[in-house]
Structure 1
Amino acid sequence: MAADEMQKRAELRRAIGELSERGLVQAAKWAAEQLVGLSDADGPSTSGGVSATPSVTTRKSRKKEPSALKGCLSLEESEQTKSEEDVLLLGKVLFDSKEYRRAAHALRECTSKRGTFLRCYATYLAGEKRKEEEIVEVAGPLGKSDVINQDLESLEAELGGRYLQGQLDAFSTYLYGVVLHQREKKAEARKALAISVNAYPWNWSAWLELQELCTKLEDLPTLALEPHWMRDFFHASLALKEQKNEEGLQQYRALAAAFPRSDYVVAQTATAHYNLRQFDEAQELFEQLLKSDPYRVDGLDIYSNILYVKECFSALSYLAHKAVLTDKYRPETCCIIGNYYSLKAQHERAVLYFKRALKLNRNYLSAWTLMGHEFVEMKNTPAAIDAYRRAVDIDPKDYRAWYGLGQTYEILAMPYYALYYYRRATQLRPNDPRMWCAMGQCYENEQLGMQEAAIRCYRRAVSYEDREGIALHKLARLHQQLEQMDEAAHYFRKNLERMEQDQADGRDVVEALVFLAAYCKNQGLLHEAEQYCTKLMDYGAPEKEEAKAILREIRSVQEHGVLSPHMDLESYTP
C-alpha cells in the first residue's frame, strides 16, 4: 500500500472517532464512506498509540494567526480530568438522545475543549429545534417566518470572546463560523471557517458551511486554504455548486483515482453529468451506485430527475417503490414519488409529495423548484411564483428556479419581468442553450418585437450546441421575416442536416424543405432545388402540390435551354 494511501487511511480512522464523539454525525459518516472508498487493502491500525496526524499546534508550516488566536486550535485535552470524562459520557448520551437542553446543562461545568464544544453545540441545536417548532406554530410547516434561533446571540458572545483569546479548538471555531453565518456576518464567518478547516481539515461539515459562503471560485485565493487532499474534495464540490461542471467532472475523475471505491465520488460524478445534460452517462453511474449500495437514498432524487426526463416510467416506478421500502420519511423519497406522479401527469398528487418533502426539510431546494414546475402545469401561477421565490431565497444560484420564474412571468404576459429572470438564469448557466433560447423567445414577444436581440440570443444558443435545434429553426424564421434570405437559407440547411442526422420528421422538416426548394430555384441552384422537391413529394398536400409547382418551373427553365445551375432566375427572360 502506498504511503500516501496509508496516511489518508490513518487520518480518516482517527477523524471518524473524533467527529463521532462530538456529535458531528454527518461529517463522521462522510469520512467513513471515504475510508472504505480508498481500496480493498487494510491499512495499518492507529491503536498503537502513534498519532495519525500531527497536532495542530506543532505544524511548523501553519500560517501564523493574530496573537489573540495563537494556540486556539489545539486539540489536546491534557487538562481534562477523569471526573469530567464521566460527565462528558453523560452529556454525549443525552446529546445522542436529542435531549439537547439536558445535555448542555449536564456539561455546564466542563472546561475541556471537547466539553465546551459539545455544550455549545447542544445549545445551538436546542435553539434550532425550538425555532422550527415556533415556525410551525406561527406560520405552518411551509409558511414564511422571521423566527430566529434565540441562542445565537449568547453563543456568539461566548464563542467570540474565547475566539479572540485563542481558547477555541478547530471544532468550536467551526461552530462559531456557523453562528456568524446565521447572524449574517458572512465575512467573519468565512474567516473563522477557513481557520477551522486549515487546522482540522477532516470535518466535511465545516467545508460545506464554507462552501455556502463562497460566492464564486475566484474568491478561493482570499481564503488562504492550505494544501490538503480534503481541499480537493471541497474544490470539486464548489465547482458543481458554481455550475462549473466540466471542471468539477475533471476534479472528481482525479479523486476517483485516489478513492476508487467511494460511492460519494461516483454520486458527484453522476451529478456533474446530469448538470451537463449527459443523461445516459449519469444514469449508468447511478445504476452502478445502487448495485454497490442498494439501500442508499442520498442523491437518488437527481436520479429520479433523469428517469423523468427520459420518460422511463417503469424504472421510476421501481425506484420510488424501493425508496419507500428503504426509508419512507426522507425528503429524497418524497421527491422521487413526486416525480413519478408528475410523469403520470397527476400533478396534484405530485404537489402533495413535494409538500411532504418540505415538511421534512423546509430548505430542501429541489422540492421547491419541482413544486413550482407542477404549479405551472396546473396553471396556478401565483403558487408557482411563490415556490420559485422560496427556492432562490434558499439558494440564489439555483438557475432552475430563475428559469421557472421567467417562464411563469412569460405566461402572465409580463415580458420585461421574464427577461430579468431569464437573464439571471443565463448568468448562472452561460453555456446552456435552453437559457438563451428562452430569452430569445421572450425578445420575440409581440410586446417587445426585438428581433435583432432575439437573433443574438439564438446565435449564442447555437454556439453552445443546441441539440434540440430550437435555435436553428428560430434563426431561420427570423432571418426570413427580416427578408435576409441568404442567412435564412444557411440556418434552414443546418437545421435540416441536424434533423436528418437525428432521423427527425415533422413540420420543421417540411418548412425547411419548402423554403430551400424555393430559395435554390430562385438562386439558380436547380439540381439542389430538385432534390428538396423530391423529398417534399413524400409529404401530403399542400406541400406536395407546392413541390410539383416548383418542379414544373424548373422543367420549364431547363426546356428553354438554360442549364446553368447558378443562373439568376429573377433576371432570366425566356
Structure 2
Amino acid sequence: MSLNETEIAELRAELQKAIVQCSERCLYQAAKWAAELLNSIPELPSSNANATPVVVLINADPDEAALEAQEISKYLLAKSFFDCREYDRCAAVFLPDSVLTGILATNDLTSGGPSSGKGKAKATADSNGAALPIISQKSLFLALYAKIMSGEKKKDEDTEMVMGPQDNGVIINKQLLSVSRFLEKWFQGHLNEEGEYPESQGWLEYGMVFAKQKNETQAMKWFIESVHRAPMNWGCWLEMTSLISRIEEFNEVVTQLPQNIMSFMFQLHAHLELYQTGEGLQASLQGLLEIFPTSSFLLTCNALLAYHSKDFVNAEQCFSHLLALHPHRLDALDHYSNILHVMAYRPKLAFLAHLCSSIDKFRPESCVVIGNYYSLLSMHEKAVQYFRRALTLDRSCLSAWTLMGHEYVELKNTHAAIESYRRAVDINRKDYRAWYGLGQTYEVLEMHSYALWYYKKAAGLRPWDNKMWMAVGSCLQKMGRDRDGIKALKRALLADYNSAGSAGESGQPQLDPEILLQIANMYERLGEDEEAKGYMEMCVAQEDGGALGGDGTNLGESMAVHSQSADDSDDEDQGANEGTGVTAATSKARMWLAKFAMREGEHQTAYRLATELCQDGVEVEEAKALIREARSHMDEVKTWPPG
C-alpha cells in the first residue's frame, strides 16, 4: 500500500484535525492514538513548505460556528473543570441539574414519535413544550460526557474492595439513564422527514450509553452512524470492536462501514481481537506499516499477530523492537509480560517489571507486569496482590482478571478462580483464556459437564488451537463418551498438524504423541484394537519425526490431504524434522505395542519393542519380563517346531 504526496498531506491534515477535535471533547485516548499515528508518518522533503498546522478549528456549519463563538468562555471553563476531573462542575456549566431535571421530567409523558419538521427551531422544544438548551454540539457532548464520567467515578467509589465479600460486580452508572433520555430528546428534535439527522456531526452518536447499558444492537447502530460522520474518532471504532464477538457479526458490520483508512485499521484490529490469523492479515498489516512505519499501534498489532499464532519467539522480538522505539510507552506491555512468562525469560521479565515501575507504578499495565514476574517466581500470593492493585486502578482490566484466576488455581482457591474468570468473561466474551480457565477449574472440581461447556466455548473462539480441543476430548473421555472424545482429539490433531505445517523454517509438521496415545486408549476401551494399534504406532513414530507413522490411516480425509502434502515436500525439509525423541507417551505406546504383539504371537516384534524400552530407561523391569517371556516363546518354537 502506498500513497502519493497529496494523499499523505490530506491524511496528515485529517489526523491533525482529529487530534484537535478529540482533545476539545476530552477524548484523550483517541487524541493520543491519532497523535501517535500522525507522528509515525515519515516527513517528506516538500512537506514543511506546504505545512498548515491546525491549532483552532472553525466549524463548517455556520450555525454551530456561531454558537461555539458565543459560548467560548463557558466552554473553556467547562473544559478546565473536566481536565481537573471535576465532572459535575463541568456538566453544570451547560446543563445545570435544575435545567436537566426539568427537561427530563417530561420524557416519560411523551407517548408518540416526534412531529415532522427540522432545523434549530425543532431543537428548542419537544412535543410537550419542554425547552432544550440552545448550545453547540461540541459543548453538549462535553457536558453529557462529563455526566457519564461522573457516573463512572461514583460507580468506582461505591464499589467494594476487589473480590471482597460485598463485591458482586453489578454496580451501575446511575447517570446513563438521564444521558440517554436527553440524547433521545435531542435527536427527536433534529429528525427530518426522511428519518435522518442532517445537522448532527457524528459526536453525539458516539454517546457510549447503549453500550454501557448492554443494549448492543442499538449501540452498534449509533456507532456505525458516528463513524460515517466523524470517521477519525478511534474511540468509536474501539467501542464497535468490543461489541463484536464472532466473525459472522464482523462480516455483517463491515458491509455498513465507510471505506477509508480508519475502516481498514478497524478491520485489522477486529481480526486480532477475534484471534484471526493468516497471510491476508499479515499482508494488510505490512501495507499499513509502509505508510506508518513507526506506529506503536501497528507494531503492537504485528507482535500480537505473532503471539496469537503461537510464534512466541517472533512476538518477543517484535515487542522488544517496539520497546526500543517507544521506551516510555506502557500500553500493551501486559501482553509482552505474558509472552515472557510463557517463555520463562525471567531476566527480561524482571527488567520489564523494573522499567514499568520506574515509569508509572500505578498504571494497571505496570501492576500486571509485576504480577506476572512474581507468578514466574511462584510467589502466587504476591502476584494476586498486584493483580488486585491493577483492578483497583481499572476494574475493566481484562488481563488482570484472567491472570488472577490463574493464580487462584495455583493456590487451590477454586471459588475465587471461578469468580475471577467470570468477571473476565463479563468484560470480554472473546477472552478464550477465561473460558478455558473456567473449564479447567470445574474439571478440578470434577464437574465435567460444566467443564465441557466452557471448553467448547473456548474451542469455538480458537477453533485451530489444539490445546482447546485436547481439553474437550479429555473431558469427554472422563465422562465416558469415548466416541465423541475421539472426534474432538482428531480435531486437535488436525489443528496441531495444520499449525505445525504452516510453521515454515521454525518447525516441521509434527503430531502430539500425547493426543495419539489418548485416542489409542479410547479405541482400546471401545474394543477396536486394530484402530488402537494404528494410533499407538503413530505415537511411537513421532520420536523420529514421522508425521503419521504406521499405515498413516484413521485421521479422516482432512488429515489425508495434509499427509499427502507432507510426503511431497523436499527431502531436505523431511530430514530437518528431528522428532520428539523418547517421551512418556511414546514409551507407554511402545509398551502397549509390545504387549499386543505378545498376545498376537508376534514374539520377535515384542522382543524388539521391549529391548527398545530397556534402552529408553522407562518401565525397565516390566520390559525385561517381556523380553524373557518373548525369548522363552522364541526358544520354544525353535526347539519344537510345529510338525
Distance 1:25 1:45 in 2: 30
Distance 2:467 2:148 in 1: 43
* Secondary structure, counterpart of 2:616 in structure 1: coil
AA aligned to 2:542 is R
AA aligned to 2:540 is L
Cα deviation for residue 526 of structure 1 reads: 8.3
Residue 54 to residue 283, structure 1, CA distance change in 2 (3 Å): farther
Cα deviation for residue 434 of structure 1 reads: 0.9
What are the ranges of 5 or more consecutive residues in structure 1 without an aligned counterpart? 58-73, 562-571
AA aligned to 1:364 is C
- Paired position in structure 1 for 2:202: 170
Alpha-carbon contact 1:152-1:179 (below 8 Å) kept: yes
AA aligned to 1:376 is V
Cα deviation for residue 520 of structure 1 reads: 5.9
TM-score normalized by the length of structure 1: 0.86
Residue 534 to residue 44, structure 1, CA distance change in 2 (3 Å): farther
Alpha-carbon contact 2:396-2:427 (below 8 Å) kept: yes
* Secondary structure, counterpart of 1:150 in structure 2: coil
Say which is worse superposed, 550-559 or 256-265, in terms of deviation. Answer: 550-559
- Paired position in structure 1 for 2:237: 207
AA aligned to 1:453 is D
Alpha-carbon contact 2:176-2:213 (below 8 Å) kept: yes
Cα deviation for residue 441 of structure 1 reads: 1.2
Post-superposition Cα deviations, 1:196-244, rounded to whole Å, max 9, x if no partner, equal 1011111000111112223433334356111111001111111122222
Distance 1:514 1:186 in 2: 56
Say which is worse superposed, 382-391 or 459-468, in terms of deviation. Answer: 459-468
Cα deviation for residue 110 of structure 1 reads: 6.8
1:95-114 matched pairs, under 5 angstroms: 95-108=82-95, 111-114=135-138
Cα deviation for residue 83 of structure 1 reads: 4.3
- Paired position in structure 2 for 1:276: 309
Residue 217 to residue 192, structure 1, CA distance change in 2 (3 Å): same
What are the ranges of 5 or more consecutive residues in structure 2 without an aligned counterpart? 96-132, 191-196, 498-510, 545-577
Asked whether 1:401 is paired with 2:434, we answer yes
AA aligned to 1:26 is Q
Residue 508 to residue 172, structure 1, CA distance change in 2 (3 Å): same
1:91-490 matched pairs, under 5 angstroms: 91-108=78-95, 111-136=135-160, 143-164=167-188, 165=190, 166=197, 167-175=199-207, 178-219=208-249, 220-222=251-253, 224-246=256-278, 248-445=281-478, 448-465=479-496, 468-490=512-534
Post-superposition Cα deviations, 1:250-303, rounded to whole Å, max 9, x if no partner, equal 432332233222121111121122122221111111111111111121111111
Residue 389 to residue 202, structure 1, CA distance change in 2 (3 Å): same
Distance 1:387 1:31 in 2: 34
Alpha-carbon contact 2:306-2:312 (below 8 Å) kept: yes
Say which is worse superposed, 551-560 or 383-392, in terms of deviation. Answer: 551-560
Residue 408 to residue 227, structure 1, CA distance change in 2 (3 Å): same
Residue 213 to residue 106, structure 1, CA distance change in 2 (3 Å): same
Distance 1:145 1:358 in 2: 12
Residue 528 to residue 7, structure 1, CA distance change in 2 (3 Å): farther
Distance 1:117 1:31 in 2: 20
Alpha-carbon contact 2:594-2:605 (below 8 Å) kept: yes
Aligned match of 2:9 in 6, 16, 19? 6
Cα deviation for residue 51 of structure 1 reads: 13
Distance 1:81 1:428 in 2: 47
Alpha-carbon contact 2:211-2:219 (below 8 Å) kept: yes
AA aligned to 1:539 is D
AA aligned to 2:81 is L
Residue 533 to residue 435, structure 1, CA distance change in 2 (3 Å): same
* Secondary structure, counterpart of 1:465 in structure 2: helix
- Paired position in structure 2 for 1:514: 591
Residue 373 to residue 539, structure 1, CA distance change in 2 (3 Å): same
Say which is worse superposed, 408-417 or 524-533, in terms of deviation. Answer: 524-533
- Paired position in structure 2 for 1:567: none
AA aligned to 1:98 is R
Alpha-carbon contact 1:236-1:252 (below 8 Å) kept: yes
* Secondary structure, counterpart of 1:298 in structure 2: coil
Alpha-carbon contact 1:426-1:435 (below 8 Å) kept: yes
Say which is worse superposed, 367-376 or 540-549, in terms of deviation. Answer: 540-549
Alpha-carbon contact 2:245-2:430 (below 8 Å) kept: no
Aligned match of 2:28 in 5, 9, 25? 25
Cα deviation for residue 49 of structure 1 reads: 8.9
Residue 145 to residue 81, structure 1, CA distance change in 2 (3 Å): closer
Asked whether 1:549 is paired with 2:635, we answer no
TM-score normalized by the length of structure 2: 0.77
* Secondary structure, counterpart of 1:169 in structure 2: coil
Distance 1:470 1:138 in 2: 39
AA aligned to 1:476 is A
Alpha-carbon contact 2:607-2:627 (below 8 Å) kept: no
Alpha-carbon contact 1:14-1:46 (below 8 Å) kept: no
* Secondary structure, counterpart of 1:78 in structure 2: helix
- State the number of aligned residues: 543
- Paired position in structure 2 for 1:62: none
Distance 1:169 1:134 in 2: 35
* Secondary structure, counterpart of 1:117 in structure 2: helix
Say which is worse superposed, 219-228 or 135-144, in terms of deviation. Answer: 135-144
Cα deviation for residue 436 of structure 1 reads: 1.1
- Paired position in structure 2 for 1:35: 38
* Secondary structure, counterpart of 1:174 in structure 2: coil
Alpha-carbon contact 1:135-1:141 (below 8 Å) kept: no
Alpha-carbon contact 1:171-1:196 (below 8 Å) kept: yes
Residue 5 to residue 517, structure 1, CA distance change in 2 (3 Å): farther
- Paired position in structure 2 for 1:539: 616
Distance 1:102 1:353 in 2: 34
Alpha-carbon contact 1:533-1:551 (below 8 Å) kept: no
Post-superposition Cα deviations, 1:126-151, rounded to whole Å, max 9, x if no partner, equal 22212221224999698125432222
Residue 405 to residue 273, structure 1, CA distance change in 2 (3 Å): same
Alpha-carbon contact 1:426-1:432 (below 8 Å) kept: yes
Alpha-carbon contact 1:6-1:44 (below 8 Å) kept: no
Post-superposition Cα deviations, 1:356-379, rounded to whole Å, max 9, x if no partner, equal 111011111111111111111111
AA aligned to 1:204 is W
Alpha-carbon contact 1:405-1:421 (below 8 Å) kept: yes
Distance 1:133 1:510 in 2: 58
Distance 1:227 1:362 in 2: 35
CA RMSD between the two structures: 3.2
Say which is worse superposed, 230-239 or 136-145, in terms of deviation. Answer: 136-145
